Structure 1
Amino acid sequence: MEESHIHKRLAVISGVNVIAGNIDLLSEILLRLPARSLIRFSLTCKLWFYIITGTQFRLSHCRTLALSNALPYSGVYFYNSLTNLQKIDSVPLTGNVTNLPPVPLLDQMAAKTGYPVKVTQSCNGLLMCVISSRTEVSDLKLGFVCNPAKNEYHPLPSPYDKNYEVVYGYNLIFDPSEPPYYKVFCIKRLGTTFRGFSFGSTDLEVSVYVPGTESWRSCCRFYVDYTTRFDCGVFWNGAIHWIGEYSSVHFDAKSEEVVIKNMPPRPQGDFTEKIRYFGEWGGHLHLIQVQTRYAKRFNVLELDKDTWKWSAKYHVHLARLISAFPEMIKQTPYGIHYAFSILSVIRGENEEDSVLLLTIPGKVVAYNLVRKTTKVVRELPGEVANTLHFNHVSAYKYTESLFPVREWSNTKKWCSYQRLARTSPSGKGYLFGTSSEDLFEK
């Protein structure tokens, strides 16, 4: 009996050795593991490190998980977009993830350039980040794509063709299943701007950047009302979507056409800025409009893919939440306000598991949209918690990816623009024909 047991153990060991020594077989097994596990396993031995860090393996891993629909969201990154707070925080959403990867690159780039750096969008594991520089003459925005899991970035070439063009935002789509894998879209206004005054056309232009190329390609022009926000686009149903108080714009990534539609009816009330949340989760596009800034009762709207009409999916009343956490109640000279910010609408696999992810003083909580129950997800440090009171919060869902964004910087020296230092009358310089990589290496 003992001899039989020994033979079985030897057979297992022999099988393990065969797999461990066969690169093709080992690669096929590793391709099916989560990115987070592979990052740890790359430290196992030189062979595993060689396989897992290879560009072709990383691309194949992204494609394999995408085709098998195995790209679950690990959590949400968030920070207060109305202050100069650069530190980005996070909330894990699965039991096997205790924390999301830190993003030290944001702090490093801000420290080296002296300019604010913000995350403006996320898509399948990649973050769209923007460096903003302001002078007495003009505002400049340069972008880079970041992979937090690997702390890698790919700087984008400058989209500025003329002096003082206004760039409103960058938007990213990342499809791991097929090349060119990701594209970046830049929205800018044609004409020139000098000391806050605009000259020339009021038309907007969409420019497209594909990794491995050296410049942006202009693809279409359009006009829309001034309330539309182009610095916080959402990728859904094959298009980038932007919204304003009165109009919505979507740009189809394949046809490269712009469609402008009216927003759903605005809730009654004197409060001007009705939009409290706009985002996508699990193939569903959601919108929250409110009557007042601190409304505790509102609807979660969902856009239908076929009819392109908004309808109320959930009716929310936060009375129970406020009763459970009375610290949300703030007495001000203007009356009672409720301190909370909406991070995300999260759709569960079952309808009963769908929640509204909120920040309240000192906590992140999940409010179940069906059962009307509340769960504390994590405690917030004082510094972060205090900045969330009454402010709009930017939040970005995240899933781990091994996609090699840095490799696209090395395939070509696309940053062929020469740095042109032009000096304003005040003596302060500003840069055109440059990229975020130039700024980072200053």
Structure 2
Amino acid sequence: MEESHMHKRLAVTTAVDVIAGNADLLFEILLRLPARSLIRFSIVCKLWFSVITSMQFRLSHCRILAFSNALSPSGIYFYNCLTKSQKIESLAFADNVTSLPPIQFLDQMAPNIRDTYEITQAKVMQSCNGLLMYVFTSKTDVGIIKIGIVYNPAKKEARVLRSPYKKYDDKFVYYNLISDPSEPPYYKVLCVTRLGSWFSDIDVSVYVPESESWSSCCRSSVPSFMNFESGVFWNGAIHWIGEYSSVYFDVNSEKVAMISMPPRPQGYCSQKIRYFGEWGGHLHLIQVQSLYAKKFNVLELDKDTWKWSVKYRVHLARLISSFPDMVQQTSFGIQYAFSILSVIRGEKEEDSVLLLTIPGKVVAYNLVRKTAKVVRELPGEVGDTLCFNHVSAYQYTESLFPLFSS
């Protein structure tokens, strides 16, 4: 009996050794594991490290996740717009994860960049399928310089990009990121520059990693007050929003086009857009009547008709009564201190939430049940003036997405 058990154990051990030592078989097995596990397993042995870190494996792993719709965010990085501090915070969604990877490349790269440039601002501007777009802004004797950095926080890899424009003031240069693991070249960077005396014309240049160079792909006339920071990648295009207009760049045709905006809510407030973002293949927009609005609609853009329609109706009266610190007396009168981080669509409709920062807390407000849950405590005091950005949160997706072609 003992001899039989011994033979079975030896057979199992031999099978494990065969699998662990067969690079092709190991390749196929490891492809089915999440990126977080693969990053840990890469230190098991030299063979596993060689397989997991190879460009072929990393691209294959990203493609499998993309085709299986498994590239879902596991957390967000965000700026708390209610405080004076612009420190980036993070929030993990998984129960077994307490924090997201820190953006460590700043500590390593910033000193080198500061030797050449006087950095006046460093900020995450966009996220797309596991990658972040980070931008350094610097003042020089000849004007404003912006340095774009593509960063994979899961792998702690960064790629520095210099502006393709040498004769224009980089004050009006905007970097945007497009990453699509389902097809090559897998990721691109757009550099949008305003031209002309009224800046109503733009030039769009594209950076492709394989060529390691910029190429100007199109020029177009756009509304003067469009904001080309923090673009949102959705439905094969990168979208930008303005108070009165919406513009997108189609990746395949490399052309710029416009989308009709929904009617603006009535009210004297000039800045009515409080949120613009994508989640799970859905593009959302939130407009408000005024800075003190506590009632608003969540709009969604239809993929087929490209028309906006109301998806959720929100009234925060109950939330405000539960958290009276949200009521702030400012120089503009009474305002409600909340910043919209994200519209998160659940697998079931009743699990969809609106993620908000309120004084001292991050709150998940259920869009169907109309209930609220505190998901994180936040440090910092509310500023004297409430300034709201329509994009202040950036999705984190665990991914082996490579930044270099070889």
Mapped partners of 1:294, 1:133: distance in 2: 35
Residue pair 1:229, 1:243 contacting (<8 A) in 2 also? yes
CA offsets 1:23-72 (integer angstroms, 9 cap, x no match): 11112111111111111111222222222122222222212222222212
Task: Give the equivalent residue in structure 1 for 2:231.
Answer: 233
* Segment of structure 1 superposing worse, 289-298 or 93-102: 93-102
Structure 1 segment 13-412 matched on structure 2, within 5 A: 13-80=13-80, 85=85, 87-112=87-112, 113=114, 114-115=118-119, 116-135=121-140, 137-164=142-169, 166-191=171-196, 199=197, 202-332=200-330, 334-380=332-378, 382-383=379-380, 386=382, 390-393=386-389, 394-405=392-403, 407-408=404-405
* CA deviation after TM superposition for structure 1 residue 151, in Å: 1.2
Unaligned runs of 5+ in 1: 192-198, 412-442
Mapped partners of 2:123, 2:170: distance in 1: 20
User: Helix, strand or coil: the match of 2:314?
Assistant: strand
Mapped partners of 2:350, 2:400: distance in 1: 32
Residue pair 2:125, 2:135 contacting (<8 A) in 1 also? yes
Distance change in 2, residues 1:314/1:137 (3 Å): same
Mapped partners of 1:105, 1:371: distance in 2: 41
Residue pair 1:157, 1:216 contacting (<8 A) in 2 also? no
CA offsets 1:369-402 (integer angstroms, 9 cap, x no match): 000111111112x23x646983325111121111
Mapped partners of 2:199, 2:282: distance in 1: 36
Distance change in 2, residues 1:189/1:333 (3 Å): closer
Residue pair 2:259, 2:306 contacting (<8 A) in 1 also? no
User: Helix, strand or coil: the match of 1:216?
Assistant: strand
Residue pair 1:204, 1:221 contacting (<8 A) in 2 also? yes
User: Helix, strand or coil: the match of 2:138?
Assistant: strand
CA offsets 1:271-302 (integer angstroms, 9 cap, x no match): 10000000000111000000111311100000
* Segment of structure 1 superposing worse, 156-165 or 269-278: 156-165
The Cα RMSD (Å) is 2.3
* CA deviation after TM superposition for structure 1 residue 320, in Å: 1.6
Mapped partners of 2:254, 2:275: distance in 1: 26
Residue pair 1:361, 1:388 contacting (<8 A) in 2 also? no
Number of residue-to-residue matches in the alignment:
399
User: Helix, strand or coil: the match of 2:306?
Assistant: coil
**Identity within the alignment, %:** 68
Residue pair 2:82, 2:339 contacting (<8 A) in 1 also? no
User: Helix, strand or coil: the match of 1:109?
Assistant: helix
* Segment of structure 1 superposing worse, 129-138 or 208-217: 129-138
Unaligned runs of 5+ in 2: none
Mapped partners of 1:82, 1:172: distance in 2: 27
* CA deviation after TM superposition for structure 1 residue 338, in Å: 1.4
Mapped partners of 1:333, 1:388: distance in 2: 9
Residue pair 2:164, 2:214 contacting (<8 A) in 1 also? yes
Mapped partners of 1:294, 1:62: distance in 2: 43
* CA deviation after TM superposition for structure 1 residue 125, in Å: 0.3
Residue pair 2:199, 2:224 contacting (<8 A) in 1 also? no
* CA deviation after TM superposition for structure 1 residue 172, in Å: 1.0
User: Helix, strand or coil: the match of 1:26?
Assistant: helix
Q: TM-score, normalising length from structure 2?
A: 0.92
Mapped partners of 1:98, 1:174: distance in 2: 27
Q: TM-score, normalising length from structure 1?
A: 0.84
* CA deviation after TM superposition for structure 1 residue 332, in Å: 3.6
User: Helix, strand or coil: the match of 1:149?
Assistant: coil
* CA deviation after TM superposition for structure 1 residue 86, in Å: 5.4
* Segment of structure 1 superposing worse, 24-33 or 62-71: 62-71
CA offsets 1:402-440 (integer angstroms, 9 cap, x no match): 1221x34xx5xxxxxxxxxxxxxxxxxxxxxxxxxxxxx
CA offsets 1:72-107 (integer angstroms, 9 cap, x no match): 211111114798855321111122432211102134
* CA deviation after TM superposition for structure 1 residue 202, in Å: 4.2
Distance change in 2, residues 1:84/1:139 (3 Å): farther
User: Helix, strand or coil: the match of 1:323?
Assistant: helix
Mapped partners of 2:334, 2:168: distance in 1: 48
User: Helix, strand or coil: the match of 1:18?
Assistant: helix
Mapped partners of 1:165, 1:352: distance in 2: 45
User: Helix, strand or coil: the match of 1:402?
Assistant: coil
Distance change in 2, residues 1:389/1:313 (3 Å): farther
Mapped partners of 1:289, 1:160: distance in 2: 34
Runs of 4+ in 1 over 6 A off after TM superposition: 81-84
Mapped partners of 1:137, 1:27: distance in 2: 51
User: Helix, strand or coil: the match of 1:97?
Assistant: coil
Mapped partners of 2:332, 2:186: distance in 1: 50
Residue pair 1:343, 1:357 contacting (<8 A) in 2 also? yes
